[in-house]
Chains A and B, each alone.
Chain A
Amino acid sequence: MLELKDVHTYYGNIHALKGISLKVEKGEIVTLIGSNGAGKSTTLRTIQGINRPRSGSILLEGEALEKLPPHEIALRGVAQSPEGRMIFPRMTVMENLEMGAYARKDKSGFDEDLERVFNLFPRLKERINQKGGTLSGGEQQMLAMGRALMARPRILLLDEPSMGLSPILVELIFEIIQTINKEGTTILLVEQNALMALSIANRGYVIQTGEIVLTDTASKLKANEMVRKSYLGIE
């Protein structure tokens, strides 16, 4: 469904992605794990067109994305719950969700998807008229994910959905990610919380200073010596 081939991305002179290649098949949860500053967010931002790759190609079901501007990529069914959440602070929860549905072409499914989001995140329904900027961190995370779901994306990119959340909320968010996936959404999940990510993903990639150093099924990665040492903190 989504394929990156030898993608190089720079910030000025900083070579942030040094030839990333990865693949996400339809219906999968694929996770990209790596330590702080490894280039996980940059990978997602490159897929979304916010950062432009200097070379390499990004294909969404065969169509090249790497030359398209971000809004065109969004219109093709790529939605992201970004790092830092980036919700619209002065819009209400409802208005944020409506903005999420901006890209979709079939308006008829709006009510249905709204109900789905409210079922996944009942907390959002309670705060439907509250301004996005006044939500708590966890609620903002839910809103960012809900907003991305309202686009009914072909592929959902999640950038550290567990960041800054309490352990209970992290459990909840990961359960919801599984539910979303079971309902048919393909997911590329970026995480520092490698243990949680690998326990719900089908496959995983390990990224280190801009390079993919390891890839395997999630269960094999979980058993891998290097992964256990570096990312799971297990000796």
Chain B
Amino acid sequence: MNENIKSGITFGLIGGLLTFLFGGWSVGVLGVLMGIGLGLALGPRFNPRDGWMSLAKQALPAAAASGAILLVLSLLQNYVIDPAIGQNFEDLDVVIPANLVGVVGGILFTCIVTALHGLSEEWERKGKIILLGLVILAFPFVDKFTELRWTAQIIFALIFVILGLGLNIVVGYAGLLDLGYAAFFAIGAYTTGILSSPQHNIFLNFWLVIWIAAGVGAIFGLILGAPTLPLRGDYLAIVTLGFGEIVPVLFRNLIDVTIKEPLTCWILPLFKIQTACITFMSHEDLTAGEKGINPVGRPILPIIKLNEAMGIELVIKIAVLLVALALITFLYIRIWRNGNRKVGSVASYAAIVAAILIVFLPIPRTRVAVFDNVLGIIQPGEFQSDNPIPWYFLIIAIILLSIFLINRLRESRLGRAWMAIREDELAAAQMGIDPVRTKLLAFAMGATFSGFAGAFYAAYIRGIFPSVFDFSASIIILCCVILGGIGNINGVIVGGLALMTADRLFLPALKDFLKGLLDHTVLPALSSNPTLQAAVGQNANPILYRFLLFGLTLVIMMSVRPEGLVPSAQRRMELHAGEESGGTPVAAK
């Protein structure tokens, strides 16, 4: 069978089988997403010189195959599966448009995306970016309209994308295997929790706290990185593993902290000098231990919901923002052109941060009025738990900022120093690279992004609990990076999304699906044996096996496609060098 049709069928099958789990409008959304995916897979197989019209036509058979499979499976879901698992038949008002959108939209998008490959390279890139932008922009609204409720879970996946991006700096760029990265996630989250919650009656604004969290993360990156400096390979991994264990334990136990000034409290009394003992902190509960810190303050963005009092302030803020943006752009282009990139970067980052602070820091009227968002009084523009859309765009913004910063870092002098250190530390030192500084900065930069993620996470779930940051979290983040492709930003994004979407969306849906299926097939038949019935009912829960499934995924990935889903060009070459040239792969020294 034709290779393209095969791909079409694969995509159709994936989409169709997923509709089994989600039902409702999912066929519409999945159809379009699969269509885009198929188009991306098909494009490079055709000759771009044929022109975009011809490419669209060439993609049609595969697209149609995919659509047909999707339709068959979706109807199967509506008419066979749903009744079998005891779901009510969906309204025809949903079934008909959902299938129509899925099939027609899917075919259409496959053709459009394939056709992009027929454009000039520049326009293909632009086209893809625009399309991706539209999908990202439309997703939460489509999700809301179709009542699929995926956005809230996708946000968790996106948090792990940021974590993956940060870890990728340490592991992918600098080649330092860090098995305790969740420690930095915890530090970011606890910084946010401590600085904006009733725990200590400190209620800093989220827009400020997120930068502080990033900064504190970076500082702890330096502190925890320092002892690992003389270590290499396995030893480094073991020490970071230790840190990953220590940090959550620390947060569990910082519940009765007393800090005394040693000179006045212990040393002077030794010499029989009587002084008042200066105590900085006495029996203070810093982290609330196992209970966790709860509630944590949330971002407030006056643009979201206007009220009269906010009106004038808002207009001023927006004006400031626009002027600042114009200024930044101007400055950036000017300085960039003139070649002084360092000044240009610093100035523009400073300007961006300043503009963000000006715009988002609400002007306090009274303390309570500003911070009562924490205390249960809803402020205009406060992010809410029942509406994931603002959160979604916030995390998208953080990811875009992270990608921008990481790209700049990678291409900078520091980025090249990381690559050199990864390859051969001694040779790098002979090139004039300071290994100590370079490695410390890798830890610090990596931890900065987990600071962002931690701050967002604490605000999003509105609380922090130490168990979230255990060893398993470090491993999951590492899995995201490995699954996607170490060292490649796009890969890490795909890896994080794939793994965490599977964890957050797919497994729970599979659980419900299995439960429905068993309740209506096997379990009634077992009613004579209640013990067995209960055992089957309880164990048919894929969420129980999530780590097993993670492990299996990794094992399969490593044996089938060790370079990850979207590998960096370099890794692909190394890992497949043997196959292509018949020689042995280059050993990494």
A75 at the interface (CB under 8 A from B): yes
Asked whether, in the complex, the Cβ of B427 is within 8 Å of the Cβ of A88, the reply is: yes
A131 to B427 alpha-carbon distance, docked (Å): 16
Q: Nearest-CB distance from A26 to chain B (Å)?
A: 21
- 8 Å CB contacts to B: which residues of A100-133? 100, 102-103, 131, 133
Decide if B429 touches A69 in the complex (CB within 8 Å): yes
B440 to chain A, nearest CB (A): 14
Residue from A50, A69, A89, A133 within 8 A of B434 (CB atoms): A69
Contact, CB under 8 Å: A74 / B589: no
Query: Are B416 and A99 in contact, with the CB atoms below 8 A?
Result: yes
- Enumerate chain A residues within 8 angstroms of B589, measured Cβ to Cβ: 89
Q: A170 contacts the other chain (Cβ, under 8 Å)?
A: no
Q: Tell whether B88 is near chain A: CB-to-CB under 8 Å.
A: no
A70 and B586 contacting across the interface, CB-CB below 8 Å: no
Q: Is the CB of B423 within 8 A of A102?
A: no
**B433: A residues at CB distance < 8 A:** 71, 102
Contact A74 B429 (CB under 8 A): yes
A103–B423 contact, CB under 8 A? no
The verdict on B431 contacting chain A, using a C-beta distance below 8 Å, is yes
B432 and A88 contact, CB distance less than 8 A: no
Q: Kindly supply a per-residue 1/0 record for chain B positions 545-568, scoring 1 wherever the CB is within 8 Å of any chain A CB and 0 otherwise.
A: 000000000000000000000000
B337 at the interface (CB under 8 A from A): no
Are the C-beta atoms of A86 and B426 separated by less than 8 Å? yes
B3–chain A nearest beta-carbon distance, Å: 30
Q: Please give me the residue from chain A that is nearest to B577 by CB atom.
A: A134
Contact A90/B420 with A48-B430, A102-B413 known, Cβ cut-off 8 Å: no
Q: Which residues of A are found within 8 Å of B434, using beta-carbon distances? A: 69, 71-72
* CB atoms of A98 and B416 under 8 A apart: yes
A2 to B255, CA, bound (A): 60
Query: CB-nearest residue of chain A relative to B422?
Result: A90
Q: Is A87 an interface residue (CB 8 A)?
A: yes
Contact of A90 among B416, B431, B435, B588 (CB under 8 A): B588
Whether A90 lies near B426 (C-beta < 8 A) is no
> Which residues 399-449 of B sit at the A interface, judged by CB distance below 8 A?
413, 416-417, 419-420, 423-424, 426-435
Most chain B CB neighbours (cut-off 10 Å) among A48, A71, A72: A71
Contact of A86 among B424, B570, B573 (CB under 8 A): B424
- The distance in angstroms between the C-alpha atoms of A221 and B467, with both chains bound, is 74
A48 CB contacts on chain B under 8 angstroms: 430
B423 touches A89 (CB 8 A): yes
Question: Most chain-B Cβ atoms within 10 A of its Cβ — which of A80, A133, A151?
Answer: A133
Bound form: Cα–Cα A133–B581 in Å: 14
Indicate whether B143 reaches chain A with its CB closer than 8 angstroms: no
Partner of B586, one of A69, A82, A98, A133: A133
A121 to B395, CA, bound (A): 51
Could you say which of B413, B432, B588 contacts A71, with CB atoms under 8 Å apart? B432
Q: Are B420 and A88 in contact (CB under 8 A)?
A: yes
Residues of A close to B124: CB separation below 8 A: none
* Docked-complex contact B429 and A70, CB < 8 angstroms: yes
> Contact: A70 with B574, CB < 8 Å?
no
Instruction: Give A131 to B429 CA distance when docked, in angstroms.
Output: 20
Instruction: Say yes or no: A90 contacts B432, CB within 8 Å.
Output: no
Given contacts A80-B430, A88-B427, A131-B573, contact A71 B416 (CB under 8 A): no
Cβ contact within 8 Å between B430 and A90: no
CB proximity of A139 to chain B, nearest CB, Å: 14
* B431 engages A103 (CB within 8 Å): yes
Determine if A22 is an interface residue (Cβ-Cβ < 8 Å).
Answer: no
Tell whether A195 is near chain B: CB-to-CB under 8 Å: no
For the complex, give the distance between the alpha carbons of A147 and B430 in Å.
11
Residues of B within 8 A of A147 (CB): 431
Chain B residues whose CB sits within 8 angstroms of the CB of A134 once the complex forms: 577, 586
The answer to whether A71 touches B586 (Cβ under 8 A) is no
Q: Does A165 contact B (CB under 8 A)?
A: no
Given that A98-B416, A102-B417, A134-B586 are known contacts, is A90 also in contact with B423, CB under 8 Å in the complex?
A: yes
How many Å lie between the Cα of A99 and that of B416 in the bound state?
8
A91 at the interface (CB under 8 A from B): yes
B544 smallest CB distance to A (angstroms): 41
Give the CA-CA distance A91 to B424 in the complex, in Å.
11
- State A227–B463 Cα separation when bound (angstroms): 79
In the complex, the answer to whether A99 meets B431 with C-beta atoms within 8 Å is yes
**Inter-subunit contact B417/A90 (CB<8 Å):** no
A70 to B587, CA, bound (A): 25
> What residues of B have a CB within 8 angstroms of the CB of A79 in the complex?
430
- Nearest chain A residue, comparing its CB with the CB of B413: A102
Question: B431 and A151: CB pair below 8 A?
Answer: yes
- Complex Cα gap A88–B589 (Å): 9
CA distance A137 to B570 in the complex (A): 22
Is the Cβ of B430 less than 8 Å from the Cβ of A70?
A: yes
Residue of A whose beta carbon sits closest to that of B432: A103
- Whether the pair A102, B586 counts as a contact (CB closer than 8 A) is no
Contact string, A46-89, partner B, CB cutoff 8 A, digits 1/0?
Answer: 00101000000000000000000111101100011010001111
Task: Determine the residue in chain A with the shortest Cβ distance to B574.
Answer: A90
Given contacts A91-B423, A102-B417, are A86 and B430 in contact (CB under 8 A)?
yes
Instruction: Name the contact of A87 in the complex, choosing from B417, B419, B427, B588 (C-beta under 8 A).
Output: B427
Which chain B residues border A86 with CB–CB below 8 Å? 424, 426-427, 430
Contact A74 B430 (CB under 8 A): yes
Chain A contacts of B420 at CB under 8 A? 88, 91, 99, 102
CB-based contact A89/B432 at 8 Å: no
B429's nearest neighbour on chain A, judged by CB, is A70
Q: Mark B207-222 against chain A: 1 for CB-CB distance below 8 A, else 0.
A: 0000000000000000
Complex CA gap A202/B416 in Å reads 38
Q: Shortest Cβ distance from B471 into chain A, in angstroms? A: 30
Q: How far, in whole Å, are A127 and B430 apart by their CA atoms in the complex?
A: 23
- The listed residue (B413, B424, B429, B587) touching A88 by CB distance below 8 A is B424
Closest 5 CB pairs of A and B: A103-B432, A133-B586, A74-B432, A70-B429, A86-B427
Can you list 25 A-B pairs, Cβ within 8 angstroms, ordered by A? A50-B426, A71-B429, A71-B432, A71-B434, A74-B430, A79-B430, A80-B430, A86-B430, A88-B423, A88-B424, A89-B423, A89-B424, A89-B586, A90-B423, A90-B570, A91-B420, A98-B416, A99-B416, A102-B417, A102-B420, A131-B586, A133-B586, A133-B587, A147-B431, A151-B431
Q: A71-B429, A89-B586 are in contact. List 20 more A-B contacts (CB 8 A).
A: A71-B431, A72-B434, A74-B429, A74-B430, A75-B432, A79-B430, A82-B430, A86-B427, A87-B427, A88-B427, A89-B588, A89-B589, A90-B588, A98-B416, A99-B420, A99-B431, A102-B413, A102-B417, A102-B420, A102-B433
